[in-house]
Structures are given as structure tokens and as C-alpha cells.
Amino acid sequence: MSEHQSKRTVLAVDDTPENLDVVKGILSPDYTVKAAINGKMALKIAETQSPDLILLDIMMPEMDGYEVCERLKSNPRTSGIPIIFLTAKDQTMDEAKGFELGAEDYILKPVNPPILKARVKTHVALKQSRDALQEAYGIIKGQKDRMEEELNVGREIQMSMIPLKFPPFPDHDEFDIYATLVPAREVGGDFYDFFFVDENHLCFCVGDVSGKGVPAALFMAVTKALIKSRAADDRSTGSVLTHVNDELSQDNPSSMFVTVFAAILNIATGELTYTNAGHNPPYVKHPDGSIRALTERHGPIVGAMSGMAYGEETTHLSSGDLALLFTDGVTEAMDVGGNLYSDARLEKLLKESQLGSVEATVDTVLSSVKRFETGADQADDITILSLRFSGA
């Protein structure tokens, strides 16, 4: 787990203290580990302390793991906590029964530390994603049905799902990152995100959902959560978007879709792996003032059709290189005469401007677009993300 994330809580349930000690030894560096030696204690801790995940032994006296799982899943206060069963190799486990009761996974004992860490990380990340989505839906349910209030709800969802604290990683001098999202009055589905997937790899992305209002904001929230969840265990941006596309297209009666540019930067080496799924090509400005557009396309829009395989590209950022990601709210902004801001105008601005900090770069682009739009309504969300690599 990244040092930039607060510790999540894992409840380990086993009637053998030695087994609990093993689990604590493996997980304690990254998680707060609570222990319970029987089912009754586990139920009490789960209800009062709401752990992020439960590791549950099956063979226990008085109340076995199956009964504990059934009680947890039938209690609204604990039903959303993911459960991983622990079972010894010489014990017979009814996998179907465990999954029918609502368990998410199982691990054989004695536990393999890398497997335990990976499974716990995956299911904690999935729970975080589900919690974020539930929070987004909760915002919607609490609002009135008037049109203006609906727009406010969509805007709140959109803004609550993006990181707003800058600088986000003050302990890192290998790079600087800054982003802004300016919603249109009729809220769209723009988003940006950045997060560490491990201590050396930073994932960052920008996306634009089709449609407007609350549906677009919700589709954005789901897309963003899926990207973050998948990237936690996958360093291939192509594989990440392949998975996200399949998930989004499975239950999509409104035929919504999203364009995405996703990248993973090795902050130690400058290696940049990226995938462009129908999105605006980003620019990289080098210290000598030259501009390079990352024009490669690795697949179509995301969410429209399942079974698509997305590719990826690998390049290197040198010290001082600045990457600029944006949505079509920049290049398709219109003036009062209906003229587009255009890629050509943006490229000219980047070439001619003496770009300062990443925040100043974003402000330069946004100010240019706003001047161009003077007298006209902002028709679409405007999202801009700037990253400068400084080197290890």
C-alpha cells in the first residue's frame, strides 16, 4: 500500500492465536489488523468498528466460519464488508456454499504472504470503489427533482469524485502534477484522476463521458472507480482499459461511452506507458521548447462494445518534460461566431508560451480558452491536467 494512503482495517478471525500472529506479521506494515478468536467476538467487532475486510477461518468451535459469514451478510451494518475464507489444505471446503453465503474469495492455509497481500489489496480496493459509488448515489437520493437541483447534484458528484488537493504528493520531487475541471452549466462527464499503484508507479488519466447531467456524472463515477480498482493490480494500461470496457458494456442500456487517456509513469526512470481510447491526443513539451503530440490510438471509445482489446505505447519522459492532457471542452470551445478553439490554436499556445509551473501551465491554457469564449456560453466541461517530470 502506498505511503500516501491511510491504513485500512482488516479483521482476522481464527481460534488459533498462532495463525492470527502470522496474519498480523504479514499485513501489519500496510493495514491495521484487528483480531478475534471466535465468531461471537468477530460479529461484535465487525458491527462496532466496520473493518474494510474480514479474513475468516472456517473451522471454529461453537460458531463456524459459514455461520459467521451468514450473520454478517444478513446484517445491513456489516453486509458490505468483503470476506475472504481461510481454510487448511487438509480440510474440505464447500466453495459453492461459501460463495452462496456472500464470501468474495478464499485462501488456503498456511497462507502464502504474497498471495495474502495481493488478495487483501484487491478486495480492499474493490470495497473502496463500491463505497465511493454508494456515496455518489447517496448524494443523488438526497436531492430534489427540480432541474436546477439535478444539475447541482451532477456537479457535486463530479467534483466529489476528483482529487482537489494540490500538491497531492508533497513528499515527492520526482514530478509535479496539477489539474482543473470547470463544469459547464449542463454538467457533462469529464473526470481526471491520479494515484500511486505502488511506490514507484503513478497512474494518471483524463476522460470524457458521453451525455450530460446526472447519468453522465454517474457513468463517470463508475468508470473512474473501475480504472482505479483494476490499476491497483495491473501495470498495463491496455489491459486496464480492456477490463473496464468489458465491465461498462455489460449493462449499458443507455449506450453511454467514455473516451479515456490513461498512463502509468515510473517516477524512478521516466518510463511512461499509456493507452488512448478515442481521446484527444495529449502534448509533451520538452525543455528546448519543442512540442510532441502523442497521436497513437490504441482502441475505440470505452463502454460501447465488449470484447475489444486495447493496446498501449511506451515512451520515456526526460527531466523537465511537461505532459498536457485535456478533454474536448478545450479544443471544441466556441466563440460567439461559432468558431472552434481547435488543436492548432492550443498547439500554437504551447509553442509560444513560456510555461512555468504545472499550475501556471493549466492556468495559461484555461485563460486562453476563456478569452476565446468571451460572450459565448461554455457548452462543455473543460478539463486540463499537467504533469512535469523532474527525474529521480
Residue 234: give its domain's CATH number: 3.60.40.10
Residue 147 pLDDT exceeds 70: no
99 is a domain residue: yes
What whole-number percentage of the chain has pLDDT above 70? Answer: 91
Across 95-99, 101-105, 170-174, the highest mean pLDDT is recorded for 170-174
Q: Note whether 195 and 332 are same-domain residues.
A: yes
Burial 179-215 (b: 16+ CB within 10 A, else e): bbbebbebbbbbbbbbbbbeeebbbbbbbbbbbbbbe
Across 58-62, 185-189, 217-221, 287-291, the highest mean pLDDT is recorded for 287-291
Q: Which of 327, 313, 197, 203 is nearest to 260 (CA)?
A: 327
pLDDT tens for residues 107-119?
988 889 999 999 9
Q: Is the peptide bond before 110 cis (omega within 30 degrees of 0)?
A: yes
Query: Which of residues 4 and 149 earns the better pLDDT score?
Result: 149
CB atoms within 10 A of CB 17: 10
pLDDT value at position 3?
A: 46
DSSP 8-state code for residue 242? H
pLDDT tens for residues 211-237?
877 788 888 888 999 999 999 888 899
Q: Note whether 277 and 337 are same-domain residues.
A: yes
The number of folded domains in the chain is 2
Domain end residue (candidates: 123, 146, 177): 123
pLDDT value at position 93?
A: 55
pLDDT value at position 157?
A: 72
Task: Could you list the beta-strand ranges (E) of 233-348.
Answer: 258-266, 271-277, 283-285, 291-293, 313-316, 322-326
**Crossing angle of the two packed helices 147-160 and 113-141, in degrees rounded to 10:** 160
To which H or E segment does residue 105 belong? strand 105-109
pLDDT value at position 279?
A: 97
**Crossing angle of the two packed helices 213-231 and 147-160, in degrees rounded to 10:** 10
pLDDT value at position 98?
A: 78
Q: Note whether 62 and 185 are same-domain residues.
A: no
- H-assigned helices in the chain: 17-27, 39-49, 65-74, 95-100, 113-141, 147-160, 213-231, 237-250, 328-331, 343-352, 358-373
Q: Note whether 329 and 376 are same-domain residues.
A: yes
Burial 95-119 (b: 16+ CB within 10 A, else e): eeebeebbbbbbbebebeeeebbeb
pLDDT tens for residues 296-348?
999 999 999 999 999 999 999 999 999 999 999 999 999 999 999 999 999 99
pLDDT average, residue stretch 232-260 = 92
366 is a domain residue: yes
Q: Is the peptide bond before 167 cis (omega within 30 degrees of 0)?
A: yes
pLDDT value at position 53?
A: 96
Instruction: State the Cα–Cα distance between residues 24 and 31, nearest whole angstrom.
Output: 9
Q: Model's pTM, two decimal places? A: 0.64
Strands 105-109 and 83-88: parallel
Q: Which residues pair with 274 in a beta bridge?
A: 263, 313
pLDDT average, residue stretch 237-242 = 97
pLDDT value at position 110?
A: 87
pLDDT value at position 43?
A: 95
Q: Note whether 299 and 246 are same-domain residues.
A: yes
The whole domain housing 45 covers: 8-123
CB atoms within 10 A of CB 3: 9
Q: Note whether 179 and 118 are same-domain residues.
A: no
pLDDT band of residue 380 (cuts 50, 70, 90) is: confident
Instruction: State the Cα–Cα distance between residues 67 and 353, nearest whole angstrom.
Output: 66
Instruction: State the Cα–Cα distance between residues 303 and 248, nearest whole angstrom.
Output: 5
Q: Give every CB contact of residue 388 below 8 A, 6+ residues apart in sequence.
A: 175, 176, 177, 320, 321, 322, 323, 357, 358
Residue 144 pLDDT exceeds 60: no
pLDDT band of residue 162 (cuts 50, 70, 90) is: confident
pLDDT band of residue 2 (cuts 50, 70, 90) is: very low
Q: Note whether 95 and 191 are same-domain residues.
A: no
**For the CA atoms of 272, 273, 279, 280, what is the dihedral angle to 10 degrees?**
20
pLDDT value at position 77?
A: 92
Q: Note whether 292 and 349 are same-domain residues.
A: yes
Q: Note whether 73 and 177 are same-domain residues.
A: no
Domain end residue (candidates: 100, 123, 146): 123
pLDDT band of residue 4 (cuts 50, 70, 90) is: very low
pLDDT tens for residues 163-177?
889 999 999 999 999
What whole-number percentage of the chain has pLDDT above 90? Answer: 69
Residue 44 sits in a domain whose CATH number is 3.40.50.2300
| Average pLDDT value over all residues in the chain | 89
pLDDT value at position 1?
A: 45
Instruction: State the Cα–Cα distance between residues 65 and 87, nearest whole angstrom.
Output: 10
Q: Note whether 277 and 373 are same-domain residues.
A: yes
Q: Give every CB contact of residue 167 below 8 A, 6+ residues apart in sequence.
A: 176, 177, 178
Q: Note whether 257 and 356 are same-domain residues.
A: yes
39 is a domain residue: yes
Domain end residue (candidates: 123, 147, 169): 123
pLDDT tens for residues 31-49?
999 999 999 999 999 999 9
